[in-house]
Structure 1
Amino acid sequence: MLVAAAVCPCPPLLVPEVAGGAGPELDAARSACLDALGVLAAARPDLLIVAGPAGPDDRGPFPPGSSGSFAGFGVDLTVRLGEPPAGSPAPERPLPASLAVGAWLLGLARWDGAPAEGLGVEETLPADRCVRAGADLAARAERVALLVMGDGSACRTVKAPGYLDERAAGFDAAAVRALGSADLAALEALDESLAYELKAAGRAPWQVLAGAARGAGLGGRLLYEDAPYGVGYAVAVWS
C-alpha cells in the first residue's frame, strides 16, 4: 500500500553542476524537494520507487543500483539509484534523465531508508494504463513510497522551450491544485492530448501516482510552485 509520496520537478538544471551560474535560481525548489523527501523518510517505507517520464527506449523498471549520467549536459557526474543486492552486478541500463535527477535528489538527502528502484513512464502512456501501473506499484510491498518526478507545461512564456501557449497556465493551475490536494479524480482527468501539446512531461507519472494512491486515504500539501524558464514546476507531498 502507498503510505507516502513526494512530487518533484525533474529538470537537469535542478543539479547545480548542470545549472552552473544559474544554480541559485532553483534553490527554493531544491529546498522544497529535500523537505518532501523528509516526509518520505518519516513514513518508513519498505520500498521506495522513483517514477518519472521516459522515452520509448527508457520505459520500464530500473532495479536498485541503476546509474545515470549527466554527461549529455556537459557535466562529468554520475549518480546511482540505491545499491544492487549483495553479490549482484550493477545494472547496465542507464537511467533516463528524470530518474537520474531523482537519484541525485536522494543522494543530496542522504537517503538511507528503504531500497530504491526506478520506473520510467512513457510520456504518451494512456491515463488508464498509468492508473493500472500505479495500482501495481502500490501492491509491491506492505509500505510503499513514491518519488514522482515530472514537470508541468513547457509553454508558459515566449522564452519557454515550447514557446507561449495560452492554455499552459490553466493546465498547470489545474494540475497543481490536484497535486496539492491529492485529488485523484482530477489527476486522472488531465487531458493526455493537451498535456502532450503543452510538453507537460509530468502528466503520465502524476497519473501513475493517482492509481497508486487509490484507497490509501492520503492528504496532499503543496510546498512549491513556480515557472522559471517558462516551465511549470511543483513540489508536493502526500501522506
Structure 2
Amino acid sequence: MLVAAAVVPCPPMIVPELARGAVAELDALRAACDRALAGLAETAPDRLVVLGAGDADATLEAGGTGSFAPYGLDLEVVLGAGAAQPLSPALTVGAWLLGRSPWAAERIAAGTAPSPVTAAVIASDADPARCAARGAELVAGPDRVALVVVGDGSACRTEKAPGYLDARAEPYDRALGAALADADSDALAALEPALAEELWVAGRPALQVLAGAAGPGRRGRLLYAEAPYGVGYFVALWS
C-alpha cells in the first residue's frame, strides 16, 4: 500500500556542477526536493520505489546506474544495489536527488533491508489506463510503499523553452499544480496524452501512475511550482 509520495522534477541543471554560474537559480528547487524526501522519511516505508518515464515499462528490482556524461559531466549515480542496468534520464536525476538525502542514501547503500529501493519505468507513450494499472501494481501487497515520482510539467512556457512558447502551457501547468496541491488523483488520471505531448509534458505518464497508486482520500502539499527555464517544475508531497 502507498503511504506517501514525493513528486520531483528532472532537469539535469539541478546538479550544481552542470549549472555552474547559474547554481543559485535552482537553490529553492533543490531545497524543496530535500523537504519532500524528508517527508517520505517520516513515514518509515518498508520499500522505496523511484518512478520515471522511459522507452518501455520496466522494473529494476536491483536498481541501476545512471550517468550525467551525456550532459558533459563525468558523474555516475547509483540506485538500489548498484546493478549494471542503465537508468533513464529521469531516474538518473531521481537517483542524484536521493543521494542528497541521508535517509535515502542509507537505504541505497544497503540495497536491501531495512528499506529496499526499486527503480520503475513507465513507457513515455503509455495510455492512462496502463498508467493506472501500473500504479496499482507498484503498491500492491502488505508492504508500506513510498513513491518518488520524477517528471516535469510543460516545456513550452517561454520562447526560449525547449518546446518554444505555447499559450496553453501556463494554464495547463497551473491546473497541474492545483492537482498536486490537492492530491487530486482524478485530475491527474484525466490528463490527455495527446495534449501533454503537444505541450512537451514529460511527466504525464509518471503522474498518472501516481494517480493509480494513490487513489482518492490523500492529502497534498505543493512545495514548489516555477518555470525558471521555460519548463514547469513541481515538487509535491502526498500523504
Structure 2 equivalent of residue 201 of structure 1 = 202
Q: Identify if the C-alpha distance between structure 1 residues 61 and 32 changes in structure 2 by more than 3 Å, giving closer, same or farther.
A: same
Letter of the 1:176 counterpart: G
Contact 1:121 1:205 in 2 (8 A): yes
Which amino acid is the alignment partner of residue 12 of structure 1? Answer: P
Structure 2 spans left out of the alignment, 5+ residues: 108-114
Counterpart position of 2:94: 102
Asked if the contact 2:48–2:116 (Cα under 8 Å) also holds between the matched residues in 1, the reply is yes
If the length of structure 1 is used for normalisation, what is the TM-score?
0.93
Q: Specify the alignment match of 1:64 in structure 2.
A: 62
Which region of structure 1 is more displaced relative to structure 2, 125-134 or 14-23?
A: 14-23
SS at match of 2:160: coil
Q: How far is the alpha carbon of 1:82 from its aligned partner? A: 2.4
Please report how far the alpha carbon of residue 107 of structure 1 lies from its aligned counterpart in structure 2 after TM superposition.
Answer: 0.6
Which amino acid in structure 2 is aligned with residue 166 of structure 1?
A
The residue that corresponds to 1:12 in the other structure is 12
Q: Tell me if the contact between 2:63 and 2:85 (Cα under 8 Å) persists in the aligned partners.
A: no
Partner SS, residue 133 of structure 2: helix
RMSD, aligned α-carbons: 1.2
Encode CA deviations 1:80-107: one digit per residue, 9 max, x unaligned.
0022xxxxxx522210110011111111
Q: 2:78 is matched by which residue type in structure 1?
A: R
Unaligned 5+ runs, structure 1:
84-89
Task: Tell whether the 8 Å contact from 1:7 to 1:147 is kept in structure 2 after alignment.
Answer: yes
Name 2:181's counterpart in structure 1.
Answer: 180
Number of aligned residue pairs? 230
CA contact (8 A) 1:47 1:141 kept: no
Percent of pairs with identical residues: 54
In structure 1, how many angstroms separate the alpha carbons of the residues matched to 2:21 and 2:62?
Answer: 32
Structure 1 residue runs of 4 or more that deviate by more than 6 Å after TM superposition: none
Partner Cα separation in structure 2 for residue 8 and residue 63 of structure 1:
21
Letter in 2 for 1:206: L
Q: Supply the distance in 2 between the matched residues of 1:236 and 1:204 (Cα, whole angstroms).
A: 16
Offset at residue 37 of structure 1 (A): 0.2
**Which residue in the other structure is 1:86 paired with?**
none
